[in-house]
Amino acid sequence: MWKSAEALLAAGMATLIGVTALPAWAQSAAPHQKASASAPALGRPALPEEIAAWNIDVRPDGEGLPEGHGSVKQGEAVFLQNCATCHGEFGEGAGRWPVLAGGQGTLKSDRPEKTIGSFWPYASTAFDYVRRAMPFGNNQSLSADETYAIVAYLLNLNDLVPEDFVLSKENFPKVQLPNQPNFYEDDRETTEKAFWKSNPCMKDCSGPVHVTARAQILNVTPDEDAPKGNLE
């Protein structure tokens, strides 16, 4: 009795799932699912076209790059139209928006300028980020060729490729950024080993202590006499 009741229930569920409850995508995907011998109890197989729609990441070795190419000259035009308002015509940055070019030789200074040319380890990061998140507020609106062109222009602004350079899927992995060798893995557990102390000092740990810096001198803290509450 139990067995048949279970079978009945299972049949009922199958009907419910197959006909009534499934949204459109699942019904159209039903033959596909049927083909899979091990359909998961939760979730469903991802369709190739679904993966393609979201699979936009690009790695330094070029994995993930779309077909396409773009020149420095084309990139200049696309950049001026889509990017220069925030990043400046030459990647110098407007206001507090990120500076993208220049800054070489500043990383040890008091005011390091961390640009694609001076700091970023991989050109693929620029392609990936422009592709996924730029232009700010209108992201994923550029074509693959336009993205190649923008990256080519950015590389040229950083004196890394000549003016007649054309960036493509094929030559992309050959592009090396100068600061790449200067990144290394987290080493805090060795270089900061001194911070693991069993018995920190409790009494008379130093001589007289004096104030050496004060936040009020800078006076950059927001002063909100009438802060905007969220309870109005």
Contact flag: residue 140 with other proteins (CB under 8 A): yes
42 lies in the binding site for other proteins (CB under 8 A) = yes
Nearest to 112 by CA among 216, 182, 30: 182
With binding defined as CB under 8 A, does residue 49 bind other proteins? no
User: What is the footprint of other proteins within residues 52-91 (CB under 8 A)?
Assistant: 54-61, 86
The answer to whether residue 32 forms part of the interface with other proteins (CB under 8 A) is no
Chain positions 106 to 135 lying near other proteins, rule: CB under 8 A, are 107-108, 110, 112, 114, 116, 119-122, 124-125, 128-129, 132-133
Pick one of 5, 19, 24, 51: the residue that binds other proteins (CB under 8 A): 51
Pull the structure tokens for residue 210.
Answer: 């004096």
DSSP 21: I
- b vs e for 51-64, b when ≥16 Cβ sit within 10 Å of the residue's Cβ? eeeeeeebebebee
CB contact set of 16 (below 8 Å; sequence gap of 6+): none
- Residue 73 beta carbon to other proteins: minimum distance, rounded to whole angstroms: 26
CB of 106 to other proteins, least distance (A): 9
Q: How far is the CB of 1 from other proteins (least distance, A)?
A: 28
Q: In this structure, are residues 204 and 190 in contact, taking their beta carbons and an 8 Å threshold?
A: no
What's the one-letter identity of residue 33? Answer: Q
Beta carbons within 8 Å of 4's beta carbon, 6+ residues apart: none
- Does 228 engage in binding with other proteins (CB under 8 A)? yes
* DSSP 3-state of 70: strand
**13 lies in the binding site for other proteins (CB under 8 A):** no
Query: Hey, which residues between 150 and 209 contact other proteins (CB under 8 A)?
Result: 182-188, 191-192, 194-198, 200-206, 209
Q: Shortest distance, CB of residue 89 to other proteins, whole angstroms?
A: 17
